[in-house]
Structures are given as structure tokens and as C-alpha cells.
Amino acid sequence: METFGEFSGAGCFCSRPESILTRGGNPLRGEICVQGAKNSTLPLLAAAVACRGETVLHNCPELTDVHVSVRILRRLGCRCTRRGKTLVVDPDGMTRCDIPHELMREMRSSIVFLGAILARTGEASLSFPGGCEIGPRPIDLHLSALRKLGVEIREEHGCLLCTAPHGITGGFVSLAFPSVGATENLLLAAATGNGTTVVANAAREPEIVDLARYLNQCGARIYGAGESCVIIEGVRALHGCEYTVMPDRIVAATYMAAAAVTGGTVLLKKVNGSHLLPVLSAFEETGCVILQSGDELLIRAPERLQPVRHVRTMPYPGFPTDAQAPVMVMAALGDGTSIFVENIFESRYKHAGELNRLGAKIKVEGKVAVIEGVPELSGAPVSAQDLRGGAALVAAGLAAQGETQIMNPQYIDRGYERFEENLRSLGAEVYRI
């Protein structure tokens, strides 16, 4: 087993390429395997901290956010090794319970380590998380929920100092909003707590179900994951296990959008069709043909896309906010008007202005975006300002006439594994320069 280090190839961490160059006009055709889910991998890596013995994670994607998680694990004293798509975490050498500011600032999901560290050591010290600037994502829900489990939290000089002097104690927690991160922290903290914890208005995302399945395989007793009410019966200890990360539903939706806007036909392999149900109606509304069989999904684009009409982002099982940007590219090329309402993050339309540089007609007012479809887009320099918006700009560039240069591809590397390489395998002209 080789020591986990810097990645190489497309999406590498060794250097930050300046831009991605696309040349539009090629319909995407072929087949592609969907990577493991970023939003499942990160909490699973944090959960390994709460276990005794090795955790072996299969289908673990090579992403900058995963790399940051590994750096956090190593900082805590864990040993991490990788071979291909398998990442092994041995937490038995863990000696610390603090995460430095520079690591916390690199990604928002770093806050999920809080519940796991508290479960393992009874105390944790960390700063506020960073990540894409897509609007306020306050962690007050995390903190207020953990306080109800007996955690004492105080802030000093920008750091959160958390202790559980009497251990994690089961209790009733009703979340004001079905926050994915807060639900994950509660699962991690309460899994080895004293007594039973009931979480009302819990997040229902597939990634929550994936985390609960992993924890249960490690010896936890979690019931109702994927529903609004989750029950966690605390156990004395968790042990490591071997587990396979679920496929990434947002990456699948992004490749589907790229196929749609280029007029292509693409077969996605290793997908979970049930996870994609909230977005499939939008694709079908544009005239795309969707065929599913087992863990495969075929998308065939029409000659001209129809408008998406109306998209409202909502917590699962509603339309996912992470799929809003790729689907907006389809609406930009639709034969009619589409309306989007962003109900999750207030600054998640930054890609709209960049799409307008390519010739789209998008007007944004608050949380509403009105898109008047145009017959075609034209290549131009644009800039990625967050993860999903950056991927959407690449898809738009593949549909645009001429060359499109997308700056700041480091955002895309946070969530898409070998993005350009995979697109080239489908016939796209896309390169790092």
C-alpha cells in the first residue's frame, strides 16, 4: 500500500493551472463511469476518526477537497494510504483534537470533523470553515444542536473550543432547517453517546443515508436515515470497516447537462437512478430522452432543447442546489423562457453573469433568475467563481461556437475528478493551458 501523497495528471494538486480552454461544436458521445460522491466521501473520512481500527474506503475520488481531508486526518495523527480508488484510514495513532486555521479555511465541509473528534476525544478546537463563497452557510445550527447533546462551546479569537465534560448525552434535537452538515455532525457525535438521540427535521439527502450505513456497519445503531426523523442509539465504541462510497449524483447531472447542450448521446455507468429523480424531470422537460437500466443511464439530446420552465431548489428530495448551475446552461440554450428560484444559497447565481458573456440572456433579481433561451452561445473568456458554476461554464464552453477560456479551474478540481480527461473521452475539445 503506497502512502497517500500528491496526485498527478488532470485535476492535480501539485500546481494550479491557469485556465481551461474549450472549443465548442462537438456533440458528446460515448460512455463514462461516474466517480464516487464528494459529499459522501468527506463525512465518511471524518467518521473514520470516531472508529477504532482501519477504515477502507473504495470508490474514493481524487479531489482537492479529499486531499484537504487527508491533510486534516494526518494532522490529527491518523495514517492515510491510497491505492487507486481505495483510501485506507488508520486512526489509532490519533494524538490531537485540533484543526489549524489554514486547513479549516480550505473547505466548508471541514466542520463535519467536529462531531467525529468530539466522539473520539470529548473535546475539539477548530476555527470557522472556508470554501466556495456562495452565500452564508452559518454553522450555528451545528453548534446549537451539539449543545443539546451536552457539548459546551465557546469562541475565542476566531476559534471554537468545544468540550463534552460529561460525555455526549442523548437528547431530542429539532433542526430549524434540514441542514446536511448539522445532521452529519449529530450522527457522528451521538453514535457513541450515552443514551438515545432523536433528530427531527433531519436532512434526507442520499449522502446522509450513505454515512448512516457506514456507521451502522461500524457498529452504530442508527434508524430512519433518509427520513425526517432519525433515531441514534448510542453504543460503547465503533470499529473500522470496508465500505464503498456511493456514486456522485451531482457529477452525473453535470455530465448529463454537458451531453444535452452539445446535442450528444452519453451512457453513464455506475449511477444510482433513484438519487437522480429530483433532476430528471428538468431534463425530460427540455426534450432529452432518458433511459435507465440497473446502474446505467442513457441520455439522448433533442435537435433543439426546450425550456426548463420552472426550477426551484429545495432540500432533498427537492431539486438540488448543486445542480442548478449545470441545468441553467440547458435553459440558456432552450427555445423559450425558463425561471429559476434559488432557495438554498443567496449568492449562487455568480455563473449567470459569466454565461451572459457567452451570449446567454439571464436576468437575476434576488433569488429569481429569468432565462430567455438563445439559439447559440459564442466563446469568450469567463471566470469560475465556485465549484458547480465552474463546471457549468465548461459545459457551456463545449456548446459555444469558437473558443472559451475558463479561469480559476481550481474550483472545479474540488469536486470533479479528471474532468477534462473524461470529457475528452466523450469527444470534447477541452484542455488545461
Q: Which residues are catalytic?
A: 132
Q: How far apart are CA 280 and CA 396, in angstroms?
A: 19
Asked if residue 367 belongs to a known ligand binding site, the reply is no
Asked if residue 138 belongs to a known ligand binding site, the reply is yes
Asked if residue 90 belongs to a known ligand binding site, the reply is no
Asked if residue 339 belongs to a known ligand binding site, the reply is no
Rounded to whole angstroms, what are the CA distances from 432 to 20, 57, 374, 420, 424?
5, 30, 28, 8, 12
Asked if residue 72 belongs to a known ligand binding site, the reply is no
Asked if residue 92 belongs to a known ligand binding site, the reply is no
Q: Any long-range contacts for 119-123 (C-beta under 8 Å, 24+ apart)?
A: 119/49, 119/50, 119/168, 119/188, 119/189, 119/191, 119/192, 119/193, 120/49, 120/50, 120/91, 120/94, 121/94, 121/97, 122/163, 122/164, 122/165, 122/167, 123/97, 123/162, 123/163, 123/164
Angle value at C-alpha 274, between 273 and 277, nearest 5 degrees: 90
Q: Residues 349, 353, 358, 359: is their CA dihedral positive or negative?
A: positive
Could you tell me the three cell numbers for 241? 470497516
Asked if residue 71 belongs to a known ligand binding site, the reply is no
Counting Cα atoms < 13 Å in the Cβ hemisphere of 162 gives 34
Asked if residue 39 belongs to a known ligand binding site, the reply is yes
Question: What residue numbers does the annotated binding site for UDP-N-acetyl-alpha-D-glucosamine cover?
Answer: 108, 137-141, 322, 344
Question: What residue numbers does the annotated binding site for phosphoenolpyruvate cover?
Answer: 38-39
Question: What residue numbers does the annotated binding site cover?
Answer: 38-39, 108, 137-141, 322, 344
